Amino acid sequence: MLAALLVGLSVQASTTSVIEAQRVSFRVSGDVSAKFGRSGAVALRSVIPAPSAPLQRLGCPCTLEEFATTARECRFAASLACALLRCDAVCDPVGEWGAGFTHAHDHYAYAHLLEEPKRSCVVVLPREPVTLTLRGHPATIVAPTPYSSSSHVAFFDSVDGAVEACGSTAQAPPPEPEICLDAGDALVLRGDLTEPPGGLGGGSLVYHFRACGARDRAVLFVSPALEARARLAGPGGASGEGGPS
């Protein structure tokens, strides 16, 4: 039912939304695509036009306006997914009943079970400033810093249930890379990176997609390029067929 509501709201979107989705996908240059292919992670700055206000309840759109802004974000996230996964269309990785978005906790609870993880991705679209620790993710997306909140003391020893810092010469674990995102930014993580970013609340909304064909029965969105060609062709023209976008 939720998926149907989102699809219904998406159908009501004007041609302007299609153009906006195309502009979002155009931000995926050849260099960005190559970086995503190598590391499975990429951050794009100021890619979402006119970011929406934060939801009144974390991860829970409650009003028609909030559902509409979520559907709009979902469309933009799908555009990025199509461009980075190099596919004609995307569906929800959990199946036909999925709406393209879920809570971060729910996604990462079963991320290791998803089929074709390298053909899926998670898109984080913050609506307000957030700092994430990319635990287990490639440092190529952002360099680690010794001032990261995940920096460690050299060694911890437990004595009678108390944890005391000890002056050991053991080398501290390297600090994990942090990234600061603003409203309008996008962080895209490939599906085979199953470690959730630190600082991303379990109740936060994330958008997740799996590559599929434009005629797949579970398709949620087609690529902006394919959609534009279908609109230009008119009712008797293209209807979801074509090469990779």
Residue 106 within a domain: yes
Residue 243 within a domain: no
Helix/strand/coil for 102: strand
> Same structural domain for residues 190 and 159?
no
Residue 172 pLDDT exceeds 60 = no
Residue 244 within a domain: no
> Same structural domain for residues 190 and 207?
yes
pLDDT at 193: 86
Instruction: Supply the pTM of this predicted model.
Output: 0.76
> Same structural domain for residues 196 and 88?
yes
Binned at pLDDT 50, 70 and 90, residue 158 comes out as very low
> Same structural domain for residues 81 and 134?
yes
> Same structural domain for residues 50 and 135?
yes
> Same structural domain for residues 83 and 59?
yes
Residue 242 within a domain: no
What CA–CA distance (Å, rounded) separates 218 from 233? Answer: 24
Q: What is the pLDDT of residues 59-79, one digit of tens each?
A: 888 899 999 999 999 999 999
> Same structural domain for residues 151 and 224?
no
Q: For tokens 């109740």, name the residue.
A: 203
- How far CA 157 is from CA of 57, 149, 150, 168, 193, in Å, comes to 40, 21, 18, 10, 31
> Same structural domain for residues 105 and 126?
yes
Residue 245 within a domain: no
Q: What is the pLDDT of residues 213-244, one digit of tens each?
A: 999 999 999 998 888 777 777 665 544 444 34
What CA–CA distance (Å, rounded) separates 63 from 55? Answer: 9
> Same structural domain for residues 11 and 54?
yes
Residue 70 within a domain: yes
pLDDT at 127: 94
Q: Where are the beta strands (DSSP E) in the chain?
A: 41-44, 89-91, 101-103, 120-124, 130-133, 156-159, 162-165, 178-181, 186-190, 205-212, 219-222
What CA–CA distance (Å, rounded) separates 9 from 37? Answer: 32
134, 159, 176 - which closes a domain:
176
Q: What is the pLDDT of residues 190-206, one digit of tens each?
A: 999 888 888 888 789 99
> Same structural domain for residues 134 and 203?
yes
Q: What angle do the packed helices 30-39 and 64-85 form, to 10 degrees? A: 90
> Same structural domain for residues 15 and 26?
yes
Residue 134 within a domain: yes
> Same structural domain for residues 16 and 92?
yes
Residue 195 within a domain: yes
Residue 238: Cβ within 10 Å count: 16
Q: For tokens 């709009």, name the residue.
A: 72
Please state the domain count of the chain.
2
Chain mean pLDDT for the chain: 78
Tokens at residue 164, please?
A: 């005391």
Domain that holds residue 165: 143-176
CA dihedral 168, 170, 173, 174 (to 10 degrees): 110
